[in-house]
Amino acid sequence: MLFFAVLGLLFFLIFFLVLVLHAFLWNLDLGIFSGERSWVSSFECGFLSQRVTENYFSYTYFILLVFFVVFDLEVSLLLNMPLQGVLYKNFFSYLFFLVLLGIGFLVEVRRVLGLLV
């Protein structure tokens, strides 16, 4: 029994040493000692600090994201209402939420069609 415990511990130590050695060799090949100095440059995460900064933020995609979150919330709330038996307890809260959502949708449709500036 002691033999298997020692054998398991020895296997774990050899596996751990091979894993550490493998990670160390990969870091030597791809890390800061590889001779490539691109990690020092100003280009980081798509940002060039020497160029003129432009606003690439689009409000259309932001509004799309907000609508996705709101509609996702609506679907998750409304699909569970009959199963939870809370349809009549919180009916006016859900009705208010749906009316508010419908008003927001109509405002957005009018804005996209150019009827509302």
Q: Which of 81, 115, 117 is nearest to 98 (CA)?
A: 81
Opening angle at CA 116, ends 99 and 71, nearest 5: 35
Q: Which band of pLDDT confidence, cut at 50, 70 and 90, is reported for residue 22?
A: confident
User: Domain boundaries in the chain?
Assistant: 2-40, 59-113
24-60: per-residue pLDDT in tens? Answer: 776 665 555 555 555 555 555 655 555 555 666 677 7
Rounded-to-integer distance, Cα 5 and Cα 10, Å: 9
Query: Which comes out higher in pLDDT, residue 34 or 69?
Result: 69
Q: Model pTM?
A: 0.36
Query: Which comes out higher in pLDDT, residue 38 or 18?
Result: 18
